[in-house]
Homo-oligomer: A and B are copies of this chain.
Amino acid sequence: MMSEFDLIARYFTRSARNPALTLGVGDDCALLQPRAGHELAISTDMLVEGRHFFHGADANALGHKSLAVNLSDLAAMGAEPLAFTLAIALPNIDENWLSAFSAGLLALADQHSIALIGGDTTKGPLTISITIFGDIPTGKALRRSHAQVGDDIWVSGTLGDARLALSAFQGKLPVEAHSLNQAALHLHRPTPRNALGIALRNIAHAAIDVSDGLLGDLHHVLKQSKVGATLQADDLPLGAILKSTQSTNVCHEFALNGGDDYELCFTAPPTKRDAVLHAATLSNTPVTRIGHINATPNIQIFNARGEALAIPLNSYDHFAST
């Protein structure tokens, strides 16, 4: 049997390629030096088998998603990814699983030129905890608390296909196999929007990533900014599979409360519309204007005929029974 130390060495040790890193895996701590005039953005997540992913989930996709959800948090701050640590509990040492997991994880790390700089491995129920580090010029972070009355509300990419795939896998909705495979890419291999987040520095007022559902995540922005929002349901950028297979009601519900989208929801003043679209072009990321910030402290949702829709906020809560 491989020892813990062999395990770390074989699958997760990589030479640091980033000049910010002076010491990687193999000492008591990693050492990281943000650039002068920058501060460090830090986020941590924990993924638990049976809660965040199914037992037997594809290991390569799981490696990808574990890092993607953390990259998405950096994107929502406009921070540039630098490095990450990985703490993982494994029920046993399965070399095929480890090889696939680390390949998925490190392929996404390579796409973003970031290094795995430290970690911990132990025996236990399959649990993955990543802490990620990015840097950003001091004071330039996109905060949840900075939305202003009159701001447009934007969202990147499309919403709802991840939730559609989840519902199909749970047997709640029939979805034809080819379509399900396409929708499942959104669930299993989300694309974090880091280039867009960086391009929105000095343009957006506030940003958050859509992980628990648009309404719930937007609610955090509104609460912290002490403002409200109006959304146009028919302007929501629906996932292609969702749009082509489901009723309008299901489309609205999944786009607004679906979760697992890992798109950016952000606000910017109407004077910055061209700048937002330019940032979207630069980062090769579609964006859609879906509403605006107002002073009434709640979220109102209208259809194209101006009728108010009653869609309750139903954000994912990791302790609610589902």
Q: Which A residues form the contact surface with B (CB < 8 A)? A: 1-5, 7, 22-23, 26-34, 36, 39-52, 73-74, 76-77, 79, 85-90, 92-93, 117-125, 127, 129, 131, 133-134, 136, 138, 141, 143-145, 207-209, 224, 317-320
Q: List 21 A-B contacts (CB under 8 A).
A: A3-B320, A4-B317, A27-B144, A28-B207, A28-B208, A28-B209, A29-B43, A29-B134, A31-B39, A36-B36, A44-B87, A46-B124, A48-B125, A48-B127, A51-B89, A51-B122, A51-B123, A52-B122, A124-B125, A124-B127, A127-B129
Whether B46 pairs with A42 at a CB distance below 8 angstroms is: no
Among B5, B73, B122, B127, point to the contact of A28 (Cβ < 8 A): B73
In the complex the two chains form, is B30's CB within 8 Å of A41's CB? yes
State whether B224 touches A77 (Cβ < 8 A): no
Q: Which residue of B lies closest to A40 (CB)?
A: B32
Residues of B within 8 A of A119 (CB): 44
Whole-angstrom distance between the alpha carbons of A79 and B87 in the complex? 21
Copies held by the complex? 2
| A248 smallest CB distance to B (angstroms) | 29
Given A23-B143, A43-B118, is A33 in contact with B138 using a C-beta cutoff of 8 Å?
Answer: yes
Q: For residue A138, which residues in chain B have a CB less than 8 angstroms away from its CB? A: 22, 33
Q: Inside 8 A of A125's CB, which chain B residues have their CB?
A: 48, 124-125, 127
B34 touches A85 (CB 8 A): no
Chain B's closest residue to A131 (CB) is B131
Q: Which of A28, A41, A85 has the most CB of B within 10 A?
A: A28
Q: Is the CB of B32 within 8 A of A39?
A: yes
Which 4 residue pairs are nearest across A and B when measured between Cβ atoms? A48-B124, A46-B87, A28-B76, A129-B129
Q: Which chain B residue shows the least CB distance to A7?
A: B319
- Which residue in chain B gives the minimum CB-CB distance to A69? B120
A319 touches which of B3, B39, B41, B49 (Cβ 8 Å)? B3
Closest B-chain residue to A217, C-beta based?
B28
Shortest Cβ gap from A164 to chain B (Å) = 23
B22 close to A31 (CB less than 8 A): no
Find out whether the CB atom of A131 lies under 8 angstroms from the CB atom of B32.
Answer: no
Beta-carbon contact of A48 and B131 below 8 Å: no
